[in-house]
Amino acid sequence: MAEAADLLSAVQRFHRLWFPDAAQPDAVQGFWFGAKRPRDRKLFRSLHDQFYEPLQRAEQLFQERAEVLLTLPVGSQLLVAIFLDQQCRNERALRPPDAEQIEAMITSCSAFARQLAERVMSCAGSADIQLATGASRAQLCFFTLVLRHTRRLPDVRAAQRLLESLAPCEVVTAFRRHNGAVLQQLESQAYVEKALRSHRPRKAVAPACAPCDRQCLAPMCREGMADGLAWQDSWPSLAAHPLCLELKQSLEQRSLADPSCHLVLSYSGGVDSTAHLLLLLALKRQSRQFPNVSCLLLCYPNREAEEVEAEKMWAAWVCQQLEADLFMYEVCLARPHAENGEEVGVTREEYERWTKEIRFRMYRCLLEDCPGRSAVILGHHQDDVDENRLDHLMKGHVLGDVEGMWAWREIHGVQLFRPLLHRRKVDFTRLLEAYPTPHFRDSTPAWSVRGATRRALDGLRPAEGAELSELLGSCGRLSKEVGQEVDSSIALWAQHHVGNLQLPKGATGVAIRLRELFQLQVGARLAEVKRLISRIRELWNPLAEAPAICAIPEALPDIEGLLFEKAFFAAAGGTQGSENLLDTRRAGHYHSSSGCSVNRRAVRHLYENIKASQKPQFSGGLTQELGYLYVSDSEVLVLYDASSHPDADFKTMRSSIVAAVAAWAEKGATVARTEVCGPFGWEEHKGIP
């Protein structure tokens, strides 16, 4: 047909321009990576002028008479598929005003290109596709983009197989790497989806005798293993141990000592979880009325496979000897590092989120159908809490929950219980010295923040270590207390000084009065926090020369900045009927967590601009959706969500926003300061004494 012939002629012209070097058809072209340089933008405009209409005709032809294109020779189908897939995305690179129309074109052209690609792949196997189509290696690389852009795992796998079949060259190597990274991402997502939907922990099978490989064991366990577990006729004395009595009391206080209850011990095989296992089993042997106890061991592919396998064997053998039910689950996600980020297919944030959700699914699997109360027992202690406190302080987080561990907490429908959180690691080490039981060495990487922090704490002199522990405990309690007081005061401030603004075209914004915010007197209470942290800095910062750890910065150098950050999130999150501008939370694949759309660094930058600005007003954006306008005279910040009001052009309504702010500020001037007092009142603060 004439239409098909005209289209093929245009497609061939496109290929001559997109792959211009006839002498070296596989040579990499700079413009393949987007219209970044002026000459590239000129080329992309030329491509638009020449091929936008053919692209539309191809789209229409597919919609009306697809068989015309689906019956073309296989080589022509490959050329058309590349044209459809690439040129529609070239249109996007020009950032056209009709962006929505272009996105719709990309969707339809990608679908049509996928149909052609399927025909090409079925007519010519990956091994001889180059011979069957006469395409260059560079053209075949762009053909694999048709498959990659679908983001479907089978298609991306097919693309990778095709790329692996091509003789190596620069363009092939680059496409293999990028396609391989996408493949890893999709395979990781597919695994997570399946794990969260149907995977369950399995009952461990113990070896017939103690394993021979002892390298995974703690140093105190490698010698004299013949005497390991020889104390098992001493269960009654263990049940009378002070730790055991404390554990029993904690369980009773939480109504978890009934035989209808089920306790799942999060068992790593280390000192802490092994000590908790012995204590739980001692109580269970003491009374038939004790709850059912089982253990869950989660295995991760982040260390040498031989060591992980040895740990599984030892864990199964120890639990069998102790007559404890052990369940295992192998998490098939590796932790990403700077060196292997592409290879594992997940970001660090995704890894932490997904492994957490898989972990909690395994907890729920073991706890389901429990007739009574249930809980997961965690073996954390004050040394772990100290590490959390230091981690927060090193990051400059000094108010709120800097400990990150509660004795009792519910997450994802699972009750987490840390019954001996008030104890120290040395208490559990001494227990295992008295009742020798095989347990694993500390496998925390020495290069990690946690590992470096532990080494630094271990290197302190006893007196300094004791003082630092006491200071960290006091800091944790005071930070939480003062943080709650600041939050309460800001909440009261927000009731009177945050509100909705009605703007033209039905748009709305959130107005925030900053003058009253900065008049909160907070110095007296924060001075207590500052004094504590100053002494902690004296003890800790000399140790910060070690890799992976850093010095604790000066605490609370800018009170107004702290107030602004807290007030921003309180106001933007919706308060007293004001619009919630932080609802733009983006859920990732297959997870139940969500994160705020605005990061703290952007908020801090906005605050610094406000303090430095000498303009009557200035505006900007915190994200693609969340914009702002600051009016200096009235010290009012206006936030708005552009995506919620697509018909409104906030940039052109600045004068309307300023007028609305003036009216709102005048109305609010009648609010007496005495109406809002809170913990800190409204007096002018003098800073930290």
So what's the pLDDT on residue 582? 61
Per-residue DSSP letter, 626: E
So what's the pLDDT on residue 339? 59
Tell me the whole-structure pTM to 2 decimals: 0.81
Nearest to 265 by CA among 337, 318, 198, 212: 318
Give the number of other CB atoms < 10 A from CB of residue 122.
9
Q: How confident is the model at residue 682 (pLDDT cuts 50, 70, 90)?
A: very low
Give the pLDDT confidence of 221-235 residue by residue, as tens digits: 987 655 578 898 999
CA distance 317 to 457: 33
Residue 330's DSSP bridge partners are: 299
Q: How confident is the model at residue 624 (pLDDT cuts 50, 70, 90)?
A: confident
**Same domain for 146 and 83:** yes
Q: Please check whether residue 101 lies inside any domain of the structure.
A: yes
Lowest mean pLDDT among 33-42, 63-72, 385-394: 33-42
So what's the pLDDT on residue 2? 78
CA distance 434 to 450: 28
Nearest to 77 by CA among 173, 156, 149, 8: 8
Give the pLDDT confidence of 326-384 residue by residue, as tens digits: 999 999 999 887 655 456 778 889 999 999 999 999 999 999 988 889 999 999 999 99
**Same domain for 585 and 597:** yes
**Same domain for 655 and 570:** yes
Q: Please check whether residue 452 lies inside any domain of the structure.
A: no
Backbone angles phi, psi at 376, to 5 degrees: -100, 125
**Same domain for 222 and 168:** no
The CATH number of the domain holding residue 369 is 3.40.50.620
So what's the pLDDT on residue 680? 43
Q: Is the dihedral of CA 496, 497, 500, 501 positive or negative?
A: positive
So what's the pLDDT on residue 52? 95
Q: Which of 164, 196, 228 is the last residue of a domain?
A: 196
Is the pLDDT at 71 greater than 70? The verdict is: yes
Angle at 37 between CA 102 and CA 173, to 5 degrees: 85
Position 184: which residue type?
Answer: Q
So what's the pLDDT on residue 592? 37
Q: Which of 159, 180, 196 is the last residue of a domain?
A: 196
Nearest to 486 by CA among 564, 558, 395: 564
**Domain around 435:** 199-379+419-443
Give the pLDDT confidence of 503-552 residue by residue, as tens digits: 888 888 999 999 999 888 777 788 889 999 999 999 999 988 777 788 99
Query: How far from each other are the two terminal CA atoms of the chain, in whole angstroms?
Result: 87
Q: Please check whether residue 401 lies inside any domain of the structure.
A: no
Helix, strand or coil for residue 354?
helix
Mean pLDDT score across all residues of the chain = 88
Q: What's the full length of the chain, in residues? A: 689
Q: Please check whether residue 466 lies inside any domain of the structure.
A: no
Lowest mean pLDDT among 396-405, 556-565, 574-583: 574-583
Cβ distance 85 to 99 under 8 Å?
Answer: no
**Same domain for 56 and 17:** yes
**Same domain for 502 and 639:** yes
Q: Please check whether residue 688 lies inside any domain of the structure.
A: no
So what's the pLDDT on residue 685? 34
Burial of 301 from C-beta contacts in 10 A (0-12 / 13-18 / 19+): middle
Give the pLDDT confidence of 125-160 residue by residue, as tens digits: 555 888 888 899 999 999 999 999 999 999 999 999
Q: Please check whether residue 462 lies inside any domain of the structure.
A: no
CA distance 577 to 689: 37
**Same domain for 223 and 313:** yes
So what's the pLDDT on residue 343? 66
**Same domain for 278 and 145:** no
Position 496: which residue type?
Answer: H
Nearest to 416 by CA among 356, 327, 330, 481: 356
Q: How many CA atoms lie within 13 A of 279 on its CB side?
A: 28
Q: Which of 196, 214, 248 is the last residue of a domain?
A: 196
Give the number of other CB atoms < 10 A from CB of residue 397.
15
**Same domain for 230 and 113:** no
So what's the pLDDT on residue 581? 67
Position 138: which residue type?
Answer: A
**Same domain for 285 and 192:** no
Backbone angles phi, psi at 161, to 5 degrees: -60, -40
**Same domain for 511 and 560:** yes
- The total number of structural domains in the chain stands at 3
**Across residues 438-460, what is the average pLDDT?**
86
Q: Please check whether residue 395 lies inside any domain of the structure.
A: no
Cβ distance 428 to 279 under 8 Å?
Answer: no
Q: Please check whether residue 86 lies inside any domain of the structure.
A: yes
Pairing assessment for the beta strands 374-377 and 262-266 based on DSSP bridges: parallel
**Same domain for 572 and 525:** yes
Backbone angles phi, psi at 319, to 5 degrees: -65, -35
Cβ distance 228 to 322 under 8 Å?
Answer: no
